[in-house]
Amino acid sequence: MRVLAAMSGGVDSAVAAARMVEAGHDVTGVHLALSSNPQSFRSGARGCCTLEDSRDARRAADVLGIPFYIWDLAERFRADVVDDFVAEYAAGRTPNPCLRCNEKIKFAAVLDRALALGFDAVCTGHYARIVDGPGGRELHRAVDPEKDQSYVLGVLTAEQLAHAEFPLGNSPKSAVRDEADRRGLAVARKPDSHDICFIADGDTAGFLRGQLGEAPGEVVDTSGEVLGAHDGTYAFTIGQRKGLRLGRPAPDGKPRYVLDISPVDRRVTVGAREDLAVDEVVGVSPRWPGAALAGVVECAAQFRAHGEAAPAIAEVDGDVVRVRFEAPQEGVAPGQAVVLYDGDRVIGSATIDRTGTPAHAAAPSP
């Protein structure tokens, strides 16, 4: 099998490529240049798109003895991931750029080009498993729950999954680093990248301020009383507790949390933790790694990359997925993905459009 190994310059993708070589496949390495102006070096353990990373990827490919190329996808990455990220925050939603990168870049732009060049599959260092089920290939959680990345792969379609390889899904991270040492890969102890790769310093609010400018407004409670001011609604997410810049404490002395974000009137509403609870979400634009669902199904629903999956009932009606949780959930925000599981198997995903109770989350917004 001809395999294109996406090599970020980190230990995971290097070992994934090595395992495909060892399995006897014809492997070619490719590093994705996603920044039009990459820094020379990483900032701490953040980011994954620097000149240092591309050099580390090339050195790993040399050790493995495989051809290596750099593909410039900076313009596509800016349009499909960065601009989308900014637009979502400007609209008061909370996007996941890693999930969008998998959907639009690694398993769309890269996979499409790979297939056009005659490759059979794209290999990545994601921690997830592909299992042959009765209906074909299935996407499952990794055996290492601390590293499981099935959530951010929940946007894959069955066709994309058919051409994907995740060689690390059955290994704990410690074993992957030890293997890299044995193989003589210099990235064996390289720190993992964290947070958002295109915001190297981790200051998301500062990045958005630079993109969108200041848009001052009010922070209010659920009665509409003004409690403070802000420089832009994009600096807040549903469930946020810190950095609210309130003028005085709550009457009961308890912390306040962000309950609602309204960019139109530049208003952020805060309230008690119990006001965060929702028992239903309405999702749109569903994606199915296997057969598309229809009707009602019992499942577990996860809405954060490293969150717990909660027991739920999903009802699928065309392009609308209504998910009702057995117990109320906190911190669920429009723009996030809800990923549905049957045990360890990923059933599918949808983008959260609305949250609330069954009486209030009636239909997706236009």
Contact 20, 44 (CB under 8 A): no
Question: How much is the pLDDT for 302?
Answer: 97
| Per-residue pLDDT tens over the stretch 324-343 | 999 999 989 999 999 999 99
Write down the pLDDT at residue 39.
Answer: 54
Residue range 158-182: mean pLDDT, rounded: 96
Is the pLDDT assigned to residue 362 strictly greater than 60? no
Q: Residues 251-306: pLDDT tens digits?
A: 888 899 999 999 999 999 999 999 999 999 999 999 999 988 889 999 999 999 98
Average pLDDT over residues 212-229: 93
Q: What pLDDT was estimated at residue 112?
A: 96
Q: pLDDT by residue (tens digit) across 63-72? A: 999 999 999 9
- In 3-state terms the chain splits into helix, strand, coil percentages (rounded to 5) of 25, 30, 40
* Core vs surface per residue 41-58: b (16+ CB within 10 A) or e: ebeeebbbbbebbbebbb
* Positions marked catalytic: 101, 197
Q: Which amino acid is at 183?
A: R
Cα 301 from Cα 336, distance rounded (Å)? 12
Provide the 10 A C-beta neighbour count for residue 108: 18
Distance of CA 81 to the CA centre of its chain: 11
Domains of the chain: 2-125+167-189 (3.40.50.620), 221-275 (no CATH), 277-356 (2.40.30.10)
Higher pLDDT, 36 or 60: 60
Per-residue pLDDT of 101-143, as tens digits, reads 999 999 999 999 999 999 999 999 999 999 999 889 999 999 9
Q: Is the pLDDT of residue 38 over 60?
A: no
Whole-prediction pTM: 0.91
Counting residues of the chain whose pLDDT is more than 70, the rounded percentage is: 93
Amino acid 49: pLDDT: 65
Distance CA(107)–CA(99), nearest Å, equals 11
Give burial (CB, 10 Å; 0-12/13-18/19+) of 318: exposed
What does the pLDDT average to over 48-55?
80
- For 311, counting Cβ atoms within 10 Å of its Cβ (0-12 exposed, 13-18 middle, 19+ buried), the class is exposed
Q: What is the mean pLDDT of the chain?
A: 91
Q: What is the DSSP string of 84-110?
A: HHHHHHHTT----HHHHHIIIIIIIIH
Mapped onto helix, strand or coil, the DSSP state of residue 352 is strand
Q: Is the pLDDT of residue 147 over 70?
A: yes
Q: Which of 204, 231, 237 is nearest to 218 (CA)?
A: 231
pLDDT above 90 coverage of the chain, percent: 80
How would residue 194 be classed by pLDDT, with cut points 50, 70 and 90? low
**CA gap 312, 352 in Å, rounded:** 15
